[in-house]
Structures are given as C-alpha cells and as structure tokens.
Structure 1
Amino acid sequence: MEKILFLYSSREGQTIKILKHIETELSEFQCELVDLHQVGEIDFSVYDRVLIGASIRYGKLNKKLYQFINANLGQLNQHKVAFFCVNLTARKEDQGKDTPEGSVYIKKFLKLSPWQPKLIGVFAGALYYPRYSWFDKMMIKLIMTLTGGETDTSKEVEYTNWKKVTLFAEKFKQL
C-alpha cells in the first residue's frame, strides 16, 4: 500500500479537518498526519506523496512552514509534494480568491518560498469565534466587518467548500 505524509500548520483545526477529508478520498493509501510544528527530520523517500496544508492568521503563514521548507528544499523538489492554504478570504469564490491565481496569500507565499509546488490548493477556512481569545475575537471581528463577513461572535461558521477539497484530492492522487 502506498504511503502519504500529511504535514500541517493549523491554529484552530480546520486545516486538520480538511486533511482528514482528503484522507477519506484517498482510502487506497496509508496516510500519516504530522504537525509541522513538532516534526524533526523526515525522510521523504519513505512516502509516495507528501501533502502540506497551512492556515493563514492575520495575513501570514506560520514561520515554521518557511523554516521547514528551507530545511527540506531538496526533498520537496525531488518528490511528489503538493501544498494548500486555508484562509477566510477564500470564502469569496465569486471573486476568484479561492484559486492560486487569485489568492494574495499564495502570491506572497510563492515570492517568499524557494519551493514552488506544482499542485496548489486554496480553501476557505472556518470562523470559530467562541474558541478565540478576547483579543483574537475582536481583531477577527474587525477584519470580518471590513471584508463583509460574519461578525456575530457567538457563532461558528464553516466556509470550506468540501466539493473543491474533493476535487483537489483527486488531483493530488494523480501526482
């Protein structure tokens, strides 16, 4: 059975939830889920494919992602590796913000990263207001007010387009 490594950088768990959905679409593979923030050295040759998922917080990917990329650039370039980004801006599918070409975060990532993945996905995340600290709740509410999103801090809202995640899983399977 072929093996897949799922690496993730997630704040509230939506990136993990997306990876678990992708895992259900890849039932013929053995999948291993690893926190990018806890990982040591990884031998990519043990895996047939690698998928890295990372979330945006306050407009940025976690610096651990870039550290991992810099430390593993050779392996990333030599193996079947894909990347996806999770952010709230991607909820604006009608504006193309859920595509690598229309995502300001992917454009920034590609400028900052020496690794240029061949397959990139962009998925809308979720708002988990009740789980946030007071500061995060107020900052995210302000951002959502400015961008026309949900501002009721008693709600949890999931924006992820699961059909789009399934289509990405199919593309990843074809790497």
Structure 2
Amino acid sequence: MKILIVYATSEGQTRKISRFMEEILQSKNHSVVIADATEDPPSPEKFDAVLIGSSIHIQKYHSSIKNYVMQNLDELNRKHSAFFSVCMAVASDIKEEHEEVKKIAQHFLDQTGWKPNEINHIAGALKYTQYDYFKKLIMRMIAKKEGGSTDTSKDHEYTDWDAVRSFVLGFAK
C-alpha cells in the first residue's frame, strides 16, 4: 500500500512520531512518503491511505495542517485516512483533560469537514531544554498540575510507542 504521512510539529515530537510510523509501515513493505505540512506536502491523490498528525498548542492544531486538510478535503474524504493528535494532556490522569483533547479534535474536524476513518490521541513530550524561560515556567506549572515531571534540566517523553505501533498496524490493515 502507498501511504502518505503529513504532520505539523512545534518542538519535534510529532515529527518523531511520524518517523516512527514511517519505519513501522516500511518494515511491513508499505511504500511511505512523509512530509512536513509547512513544506508544501504532496497531494493525497496518488496514495492509497493518508495519516495526518498535529500537536495541539493553545487549544489549536497547526494552521498548516488545517490548510492542508481544507485544500485536499474531497480527496481525503474519499481515501482511507486517520488523524493523530499529539498532546501532553493525553498523559494526564485527569479525565477532563482527555475530554478537552477530544473536543479540540472534534472541533477541528467539524471546522474542516474532514471525516477520517480513525482518530488517535497520542501523548507528547515535555521538551524543557527547547523552551525559553517563560514557556519553561508555564509548562512546568501545567506538568505539576497534571502530575508530570517538573525537572526542567532535561526533556521527558510520554509517548506510548507500543500504542502508536498498534494504531499504525491496525490502520494499514
């Protein structure tokens, strides 16, 4: 199967997840093209299936992903497709945080009109070493509230790689 993965990222975790998906799919003999949504990704037209992912920041997905979906809406709605949403709230034990992530994703899909076959929510990472002083403080406060690590001397990854592998293999069947 020929699969397109289009992603948008802020600190690189969504790119890392996309690359992992690419490796899993290629190991199962799928032909995979991966593209950053900010760099003129290919049309989904010549692909059998499409995975699109974005991280959430300030309760929104990247505008480049929204633009890509809207520009290719008819084709995406004809294809086997999935949306993967990357957000630290997925790692939280707070039920309301999970519900909020689902609402943000549904609002995005309602806004764009895209009807993917699957939606998957994936925990991201705290990239403290990449944050400026103020973002580091804000992310530390959020992490403390949600039970995440507040050690700002290093990055902390919360992505469940086994769950990502299961999602991708299920999608490709």
The answer, yes or no, to whether TM exceeds 0.5 is: yes
Distance change in 2, residues 1:83/1:93 (3 Å): farther
> Equivalences for 1:29-68 in 2 at 5 Å?
29-39=30-40, 42-68=42-68
Q: Which residue of 2 aligns with 1:168?
A: 167
Q: TM-score, structure 2 length as denominator?
A: 0.87
Give 2:146's aligned amino acid.
T
Shift of 1:47: 1.3
Q: TM-score, structure 1 length as denominator?
A: 0.86
Structure 2 unaligned blocks of 5 or more: none
* Larger mean Cα displacement after TM superposition, 122-131 or 52-61: 52-61
* Larger mean Cα displacement after TM superposition, 58-67 or 125-134: 58-67
Q: CA contact under 8 A between 2:93 and 2:146: conserved in structure 1? A: no
Q: How many angstroms apart in 2 are the aligned matches of 1:158 and 1:147?
A: 15
- Percent identical pairs in the alignment equals 35
Q: CA contact under 8 A between 1:91 and 1:97: conserved in structure 2? A: no
Q: CA contact under 8 A between 1:90 and 1:103: conserved in structure 2? A: no
- RMSD after superposition: 2.2
Q: How many angstroms apart in 2 are the aligned matches of 1:119 and 1:12?
A: 25
Q: CA contact under 8 A between 2:21 and 2:165: conserved in structure 1? A: yes
Distance change in 2, residues 1:102/1:133 (3 Å): closer
Q: Which residue of 2 aligns with 1:159?
A: 158
> Equivalences for 1:1-175 in 2 at 5 Å?
2-26=1-25, 27=27, 28-39=29-40, 42-92=42-92, 95=95, 103-174=102-173
Q: Give the 3-state SS of the residue equivalent to 2:11 in structure 1.
A: coil
Q: Give the 3-state SS of the residue equivalent to 2:6 in structure 1.
A: strand
Q: CA contact under 8 A between 1:83 and 1:120: conserved in structure 2? A: yes
Shift of 1:44: 2.0
When you count helix as a share of all residues, which structure comes out higher? 2
Q: How many angstroms apart in 1 are the aligned matches of 2:11 and 2:66?
A: 20
Q: How many angstroms apart in 2 are the aligned matches of 1:127 and 1:47?
A: 33
Q: CA contact under 8 A between 1:144 and 1:150: conserved in structure 2? A: yes
Give 1:14's aligned amino acid.
Q
Structure 1 unaligned blocks of 5 or more: none
